[in-house]
Amino acid sequence: MQFLIITGMSGAGKSLCVKYFEDIGYFCVDNMPPQLIPKFAEITLQSKSELEKIAFIIDIRGGTMFLELMPALDTLAEMDIEYKILFLDATDEVLIKRFKETRRMHPLSHDGRVSEGISEERRILQSIKDKADYVIDTSNLLPRQLREEIIQLFLEGKTFKGLIVRIVSFGFKYGIPIDCDLVFDVRFISNPYYIPELKPKTGLDAEVSNYVMSFPESRLFLNKLTEMINFLLPHYVKEGKSQLIIGVGCTGGKHRSVTLAEKLFSRLKQKEYSVVIEHRDIDRDNKGASL
Do 28 and 126 fall into the same domain?
yes
Alpha helices in 33-91 (DSSP H): 37-46, 69-78
Average pLDDT score, the chain: 85
Among 124, 154, 184, give the residue marking a domain's end. Answer: 154
pLDDT tens for 180-235 read 999 999 999 999 999 999 999 999 999 999 999 999 999 999 999 999 999 999 88
Do 26 and 65 fall into the same domain?
yes
Cα distances (Å, whole numbers) of residue 67 to 70, 153, 234: 7, 27, 45
Q: Is residue 65 part of a domain?
A: yes
- 28 CB contacts (<8 Å, ≥6 apart)? 18, 21, 22, 54, 55, 57
Do 100 and 169 fall into the same domain?
no
Check residue 111 and give its pLDDT: 66
Q: Is residue 285 part of a domain?
A: no
Check residue 213 and give its pLDDT: 97
Split into its structural domains, the chain has a count of 2
Q: Is residue 201 part of a domain?
A: yes
Do 133 and 180 fall into the same domain?
no
With cut-offs at 50, 70 and 90, classify the pLDDT of residue 43.
confident
Residue 289 has pLDDT above 50, yes or no: no
Q: For 79-97, give the DSSP string.
A: TT---EEEEEE--HHHHHH
Cα distances (Å, whole numbers) of residue 205 to 170, 187, 199, 215, 223: 17, 19, 11, 17, 21
Among candidate residues 221, 216, 207, 215, the one with its CA nearest the CA of residue 260: 221
Among candidate residues 124, 257, 81, the one with its CA nearest the CA of residue 184: 257
Q: Is residue 286 part of a domain?
A: no
- CA dist 245 and 134 (Å) reads 32
> Is the whole model's pTM more than 0.85, yes or no?
no
Residue 53 has pLDDT above 90, yes or no: no
Q: Reduced to 3 states, what is the DSSP secondary structure of residue 27?
A: strand
Q: Is residue 123 part of a domain?
A: yes
Residue 274 pairs in a beta bridge with 164
- CA dist 100 and 117 (Å) reads 13
Query: For residue 41, what is the domain's CATH number?
Result: 3.40.50.300
Check residue 216 and give its pLDDT: 97
Among 96, 131, 154, give the residue marking a domain's end. Answer: 154
Do 84 and 9 fall into the same domain?
yes
What's the CA angle centered on 179, arms 173 and 184, to 5 degrees?
A: 55
Q: Is residue 290 part of a domain?
A: no
Do 108 and 175 fall into the same domain?
no
Residue 291 has pLDDT above 80, yes or no: no
Do 142 and 18 fall into the same domain?
yes
Check residue 229 and give its pLDDT: 96
Alpha helices in 141-255 (DSSP H): 143-154, 206-212, 216-238
Domain containing residue 51: 2-154
pLDDT tens for 235-277 read 888 776 777 889 999 999 999 999 999 999 999 986 667 788 8
Contact 256, 209 (CB under 8 A): no
Cα distances (Å, whole numbers) of residue 171 to 116, 176, 244: 58, 7, 19
Pick 216 or 150 by higher pLDDT.
Answer: 216
Do 21 and 150 fall into the same domain?
yes
Do 8 and 48 fall into the same domain?
yes
Tell me the range of 11-20, 87-96, 156-165, 245-254 where mean pLDDT is highest.
245-254
Check residue 288 and give its pLDDT: 38
Among 133, 154, 175, give the residue marking a domain's end. Answer: 154
Do 14 and 130 fall into the same domain?
yes
Q: Is residue 105 part of a domain?
A: yes
Contact 107, 9 (CB under 8 A): no
Do 217 and 108 fall into the same domain?
no
Do 115 and 244 fall into the same domain?
no
